[in-house]
Amino acid sequence: MDEDKRIVVDNLTSRYPGTTQPQLRGINAEVQAGQVVGIIGNSHSGKSTLCRVLAGVISKIVSAEVEGQWRLFGRRVDDWPAYNAMTGVVLQNPAGQLSGLSDTVADEIAFDLINQGLAENLIQKRIEKVAAQMGLSAQLHLHPESLSGGQIQRLAIATAIATHPTVLILDDPTSEMDPLGRRQFFHWLAGVKDTTVLIVTSEIDDLCEIADSVWVMHDGQLVSKGTPGDVFNHLATDWQIPAPTITQLAQKMNWRMADGQYPVNAAELKEVRYAHN
């Protein structure tokens, strides 16, 4: 397969200054263009560090030792202008990613678009589109500092997707959203096309509805990867990761799919319920 159709991580190891143990240890993985990859694991498992490395934050902005290679569709982080232009990033502190120079939400969304030299009419269309997608149309005239935590997360996502990135890296993007905002976000994410998405989240049920594959991080290592069905049907106890609610229900009812696995999402649950009626 052509190199520019994949994200490739090859024996990636990373350690922050002043620490004795690496935060990432020998990560190997591959993502096909257009996939949604969920990254899960307990605290300090290396999820956020992996996002920072793939986004180029480590080591272009945050100092850390990095060994191994990683490429986004053939681009190495050494080619920073092209690499950075490909990625939209939302890390754990979304407020820290805002420019701090904008008087309104609309201005904040426009910030990177202006820097790219886009025409004013195109900028306005982009602002209106992403604001509608993130449920911020009514807040466009407000100052970013007046937003709630969940709204700030949605604004950070809006600024990340306004530039039409090829790769979207999201580290726990719904942690401060209310249930409605979270449902709206995952509904939007399910409809994203032509963008490769890597998302760290603890929202297991929502993830299983939209993810093409899941990576499990544990103690700095990538200990499992595969389809949501494969991963959640073979959880190790020491990972301390709960099975999806649908899987737990199916286990109690002993409802299995044709391949012997328990369902992990609504479509699969409907299939096994039909088979048992």
Regarding whether 33 and 120 lie in a shared domain, the answer is yes
Are 193 and 272 members of one domain?
A: no
Between helix 105-115 and helix 120-133 the angle, nearest 10°, is: 130
Let me know whether 261 and 170 are in one domain: no
**Around Cβ 87, how many Cβ atoms within 10 Å?**
22
* pTM of the complete model: 0.94
Total count of domains within the chain = 2
Look up the domain containing 216 and give its range: 6-242
Written as one letter, the residue type at 187 is H
Q: Assess whether 67 and 164 both reside in one domain.
A: yes
48 lies in some domain: yes
* Same domain (yes/no): 54, 164: yes
Query: Based on the domain organization, do 27 and 151 belong to the same domain?
Result: yes
227 in the same domain as 99:
yes
DSSP symbol at 93? -
Type and span of the H or E element at 59 = helix 57-60
- One digit per residue, the tens of pLDDT, for the chain of length 277 reads 445 789 999 999 999 999 999 999 999 999 999 999 999 999 999 999 999 999 999 988 999 999 999 999 989 898 888 898 999 999 988 988 899 899 999 999 999 999 999 999 999 999 999 999 999 999 999 999 999 999 999 999 999 999 999 999 999 999 999 999 999 999 999 999 889 999 999 999 999 999 999 999 999 999 999 999 999 999 999 999 999 999 999 999 999 999 999 999 999 999 998 877 6
